[in-house]
Amino acid sequence: AAAAEGDARQRIERLLGDADQYEKVFNDLQRGIAADDAAAVAALLRYPVRVSVGGKDQNVADAAAFQRDYDKIVTPALAKLIAEQKFDTLFVNWQGVMLGQGEVWINGKCLDKECTKSEVKVNNIGQ
C-alpha cells in the first residue's frame, strides 16, 4: 500500500531526511543504466556494495570490481525494472528507499556525529 500512495518525497522527508539527495541518486541511476554506463553507475554505489550475480548474493569491494562484473550484475531484467520505476511510487522505510521488490536499495549514511550531513548512495543492487 505504501508504494501506491505516490508520495515518496513526503515519506522520504519524514523518515530519512533530504528527499532531493534521494531523487538525485535515483535519477542518476536511471540515466546511468539507460546509457549502459558502468562507471557512472559504479560512482553511485556505497562500497562494499551487496549485489546478486546469478542468484547468489555477494559483496563487491570497489568500483573497479563492480565495473568488471557490470554485465553480470545489471541484467536486462534489472535494467528494465530500474527504467520503469517511478520516483513517486518508491517504497520508503527507515532503512531507505527500495526499487522493485528489493532489487535496489538507496540509503543515507551520516557523515558527522550529529548527522547534519549525509551521503546518499545505492547500497544494494541486483536480483
- pLDDT tens string, the chain, 127 residues long: the values are 344 456 899 999 999 988 999 999 999 999 999 999 999 999 999 999 999 888 899 999 999 999 999 999 999 999 999 999 999 999 999 999 999 999 999 999 988 888 888 899 999 998 6
| Residue 12 CB coordination number (10 Å) | 24
CA distances from residue 39 to 43, 66, 86 in whole angstroms, order as listed: 6, 9, 23
- Model pTM? 0.91
Q: Pull the grid cell for residue 47.
A: 562500497
Q: What pLDDT does 55 receive?
A: 84
